[in-house]
Structure 1
Amino acid sequence: MPTPALSVIVVTPHDFAQLRRTVAHLRVQDGVEDTELVLVAPDEAAVADAEPAELAAFGQLTVVPVGPIDNVDRAAARGMLAASAPVVATIEDHAYVQAGWIRAVLAAYEQGDWVSVGSVMGNANPDSSFSWANLMLGYGWWIDRDHAGEMDDVPSHNATYRREAVAAFGDELPRHVGRDGDLHERLRQAGGRMYLAPDASITHANPSTLAATADLRFNAGRLYGAERAEDAGWSFARRLFYALASPLIPLVRLKRFFDERLAPGRSHAELFPAVLPGLIAALVLDAAGQAVGYLRGPGAAPDVLATFEMDRLQHLDRRDRRLLSAPPAPPALPASSPPSSPPSGERP
């Protein structure tokens, strides 16, 4: 086929079954015939459980074998380097593009000189207070379509880029991606501009149990606190001051969330007060992690956080597991495309 317009990279550390729902949402997109699907897996046999009908709609299929995968972000970077389209996207196995996503992303690149285009993020498992809390803390800047447009930053997960910009990093690209990477900072330093496309929407499955939320939020807070102190070269006295002041962080951030998202008339006002218990718990856990990060550094936080991208179902409650593990509707053959119908979230 001619050079595809878009390459979508999806990573599985295990088998195709882990990607089935994500790929099902991609294959019914308007524009899928101009899209390259890049499957990054330990080896080609790992995705042999895919049915031909599940892949037939894509204009091009590329499998990138990378050996055992212990970090999904770095594996996705290798997929970006192997992609052939001028625009590349990485979609997590627990994220689901919505109708019109491909066309909206490509239109944004055609209309501006953006180095990265982000999507408005929605909730794929919206019946849990913890799920909403984790979505708001992870994607808080990017959940409101009315705030779309040029932004200082866009999500680094479920992201799209001009391939030439990320390919410039060569084999070093994998070390610049992920929660502890600096890819977006480097792209901005090179003059790159970023844009949140209002008509590009992705729903994201978020941890929905207390145990998973505690693990995620504490370690995310610890990594943030450690990096903040290290990057700014804080003295021990300043680290100690911020650690002692950390009990105030949940209050400051809760007020900000309420004023910007949950107050009457705001974009997510209907969630209040149902989301409040999970949000308070998540903010307290995050603040505790920040305090430890200021004083003790990141510890094992980067490795713990990497596990959350490996198998999302294990971090969901029973109801959400049933919802998202149910097989998607099988495609017909031949497959066709129906008509389209602050970094790392908010920080104090």
Structure 2
Amino acid sequence: MTTEAPEAPSSRSGSGGSDFAQLTRRIVDEGLLDRRPGYYAARMALVFAAFLGGWYALFALGDTWWQLGLAAAMSVVFAQIGLLSHDLAHRQVFDRRVPSEIGGRIAANLLMGMSYGWWMNKHTRHHANPNHEERDPDVAPELLVWSQRQARKASGVARFIGRRQAYLFVPLLLLEGLNLSFNSFRALRGPVVKRPVLEGVLLVVHFLAYFGLVFAALPAGKAVAFIAVHQALFGVYLGSVFAPNHKGMLMVTPEMKLDFLRRQVLTSRNVRGGLLIDAVMGGLNYQVEHHLFPSMPTPALGRAARITREFCAEKGVAYYETGLFRSYREIFTHLHRTGEPIRSGG
């Protein structure tokens, strides 16, 4: 199966209701939407232990350039906190809003340094219209262009970067950690964050503690190097996890009419790889199932993938999955192809 965008089929319903309703019944019958408190308790304990252990190691190692290795390790820990924030936002951990928001703000704002409210608003809009050229904020042509239609209309920075965006994608990811922090603080002045004072206080506490601990443990030069390595690799890790989900898949235009199941399946890519990939990507390698059932706990996604794959085969819906490195190759190929109108002066 190729990654070329398939034709947009019309919505279809069987005698048992919509296609999505039929699939949902199979998922529910398997108990795959049931909460997994034991799994999340263990996962949170491991991530929090790694978080505390990293700060302890910062002082235990002392004045040495080996601290840059610790910075790399801590970038993984921060990304795992981000993945937990994602699951909390989708109510995969708790089925009620209040504990989900409390946990999300602790993980995102306090521990990681990103606004939970800002990211939640952005991510909710993405889930509603994945890869939609006009409605998905994740494919807005701000720095990169994601379709040739966007490329033809690009101007300013997007047009400048779009010429060589396949080569600039990874360097730009080095700045993604800073971008998340900048947008988090900027969003506090807008309407999307429901509790701006609370979130602002938590963000300030995070960064005071973050910079305070690093500069207390290290001389200024090593402290700056630690922060630079940590933030850069944190951005690359997050980008490497989220980019394979949709980039290079079907781009939806306003004239396309897709039902919910096809809108989610045709725009998403699953990544194979077993338990290691599951852990590294936090379950987001099952992107098709995550988009169909956002509140499904991570450990249920593998079984749901088998059911969904079989169901899509029955309905003639293109279901795509590939290996991790091939997914990156497809992303870079897509970025290069979409930038062609800019390079050719179109």
Same fold (TM over 0.5): no
- TM-score (normalised: structure 1): 0.28
Larger Rg: 2
Greater relative contact order: 1 or 2 (C-alpha under 8 angstroms, separation 6 or more)? 2
Higher strand share: 1
Higher helix share: 2
